[in-house]
Amino acid sequence: MSTADPVTPVLTKRWLSPNSWRLSVYEQLEGYTAVKKALSKPPEQIVALVKDAGLRGRGGAGFPAGVKWSFMPQNEEKRHYLVINADEGEPGTCKDIPLMMADPHSLIEGCVIAAYAMRSHHCFIYVRGEVLHCIRRLHAAVREAYDAGYLGKDILGSGFDLDITVHAGAGAYICGEETALLDSLEGRRGQPRLKPPFPAAAGLYAAPTTVNNVETIATVPFIVNGGSDWFREMGTEKSPGPKIFSISGHVERPGQYEAPLGTTLRELLELAGGMKDGVPLKFWTPGGSSTPMFTAEHLDVPLDFEGAAEAGSMLGTTAVMVFNETVSVPWAVMKWTQFYEHESCGKCTPCREGTYWLAQVLERMVEGKGTEEDIDTLLDVCDNILGRSFCALGDGAVSPITSGIQYFRDEFLALCETNKSKQSESALVGAQA
């Protein structure tokens, strides 16, 4: 168990420096020192280091990064690609965009090291299109890195070549799913692919490809500099390291707090100044809308991959959305469901049809026109989506509904009661819509 401080700025530390996005500032703050070390070692040694550190993917699923890298072929018969997932669109998630705005060179340095470790010479950063300032900072940083010899041919005299292309998406949450992202990057509709083959076997242009999240890759230079033991001084045995917790909603001081994995909501709330105006907590998500919601019962759940799962949710993206007593759960669930309905790519029937019906039923209930059977209908439709959809978007879509009904069934029932008595006034946010 970690004895680290409550906040452990690693990735977020440079953010406080004026003009932290510039190469000159980055270089003054140990920037591009890790890449020099990495390029002097054999690629396999970097993969082994990242494995030893136990770095787990920060994009939501928590797959061990070193293990994923080791799936890439050792030979270079085909070109290898590294693709950075900067599509950040999971509701509540807001860590990668500020990271890339504040410290784009940490991502670029991580890309050089990771690409070297996986014998790739072309890296794509797929950024969601709606964040122009972030895209601009990335372009500027890539330009600076080329000019300084950190990108391009024979990087720092090592003989290693790498090109980075910054690619702007065009507004589609599903493109965050790694195989949909690859289709989108190939200029197609962003729809998931059947796995296997996994990207390491046949990814971008059917060539060996690794897709990693921004925060995952930006962590790599620190592991190279600090070593795996240092990294493990933060976090828990199976979920080591620091993690950016993005706290939003009804707290006094929302924001980005980088703390060891395993930190609890109770501790995070303390950092964030407690609940806004002292209004009590009602529900929250540990890692975005696709992770089943928690309640005040879960204040002491350790927020690492194991802890969140044992308590019936998932760590996801550590997007901690906090809602107080004034918010109606059925309304919040309806809003999220409308999101999934809008973002369903339409490829498979359970998700395409299911999210449509779920949204209809929830809208009717929130309007006060629901019946008790609607609750069963919702759960029934969820049952037909969960585990039966082509990709994890479908599974994510049912999370708010099943967890919402699990913890707040009374509130759903009350909406039906209102229907019975035709008194639809309620003080809860959205319930009056």
Ligand X SMILES: Cc1cc2nc3c(=O)[nH]c(=O)nc-3n(C[C@H](O)[C@H](O)[C@H](O)COP(=O)(O)O)c2cc1C
Residues that bind ligand SF4 (CB under 6 A): 174, 192, 344-348, 351-352, 389-391, 393-394
Site for ligand X in 267-326 (CB under 6 A): none
Contacts of 27 (CB under 8 A, 6+ apart): none
Which is nearer to ligand X, 271 or 386 (by Cβ)?
386
- Check if the beta carbon of residue 45 is closer than 8 Å to that of residue 53: no
Minimum separation from the CB atom of position 291 to other proteins (A): 13
Minimum separation from the CB atom of position 65 to other proteins (A): 19
Site for other proteins in 327-386 (CB under 8 A): 327, 332, 335-336, 339, 342-343, 345
Q: Is 128 in the site for other proteins (CB under 8 A)?
A: yes
Minimum separation from the CB atom of position 180 to ligand SF4 (A): 8
Minimum separation from the CB atom of position 252 to other proteins (A): 11
Pick from 393, 406, 310: which is nearest to 350 by CA?
393
Minimum separation from the CB atom of position 283 to ligand SF4 (A): 25
Residue nearest to ligand SF4 (CB): 351
Q: Which does 335 bind (CB under 5 to 8 A by kind): other proteins, ligand X, ligand SF4, none?
A: other proteins
- Residue in 109, 177, 178, 258 binding other proteins, rule: CB under 8 A: 258
Q: Which does 352 bind (CB under 5 to 8 A by kind): ligand X, other proteins, ligand SF4, none?
A: ligand SF4
Which is nearer to ligand SF4, 162 or 393 (by Cβ)?
393
Three-class secondary structure of residue 65 per DSSP: helix
Q: If you write DSSP's letter for every residue of 375-412 in order, what string do you get?
A: HHHHHHHHHHHTTTSSSHHHHHHHHHHHHHHHHHHHHH
CB atoms within 10 A of CB 233: 16
Q: Stretches 99-107, 212-220, 354-362, 417-425: which one binds ligand X (CB under 6 A)?
A: 212-220
Q: Stretches 19-27, 137-145, 171-179, 240-248: which one binds ligand X (CB under 6 A)?
A: 171-179
Minimum separation from the CB atom of position 310 to other proteins (A): 26
Distances (CA, A) of 26 to 16, 138, 161, 356, 427: 12, 14, 22, 47, 50
In this structure, which amino acid lies at residue 281?
L
Minimum separation from the CB atom of position 260 to other proteins (A): 9
Residue nearest to ligand X (CB): 176
Minimum separation from the CB atom of position 28 to ligand X (A): 28
Residue 91 tokens read as 């509701």
Site for ligand X in 371-400 (CB under 6 A): 391-393
**Phi, psi values for residue 272, rounded to 5°:** -90, 15
Rounded CA separation 248/425 (Å) = 28
Number of residues binding to ligand X, judged by CB under 6 A: 23
Residue 244 tokens read as 């950016």
CB atoms within 10 A of CB 273: 13
Distances (CA, A) of 223 to 35, 135, 147, 157: 11, 26, 26, 23
Contacts of 286 (CB under 8 A, 6+ apart): 265, 294, 301, 303, 308, 313, 314, 315, 316, 318, 320
Instruction: Tell me how far apart the terminal alpha carbons of the chain are, to the nearest angstrom.
Output: 47
- Check if the beta carbon of residue 280 is closer than 8 Å to that of residue 311: no
Q: Is 89 in the site for ligand X (CB under 6 A)?
A: yes
Site for other proteins in 4-43 (CB under 8 A): 4-10, 12-13, 15-16, 19-21
Pick from 365, 344, 362: which is nearest to 353 by CA?
344
- Residue in 61, 67, 156, 299 binding ligand X, rule: CB under 6 A: 61
Q: Is 303 in the site for other proteins (CB under 8 A)?
A: no
Binding residues for ligand X, rule: CB under 6 A, are: 57-61, 63, 65, 85, 87-90, 174, 176-178, 211-213, 216, 391-393
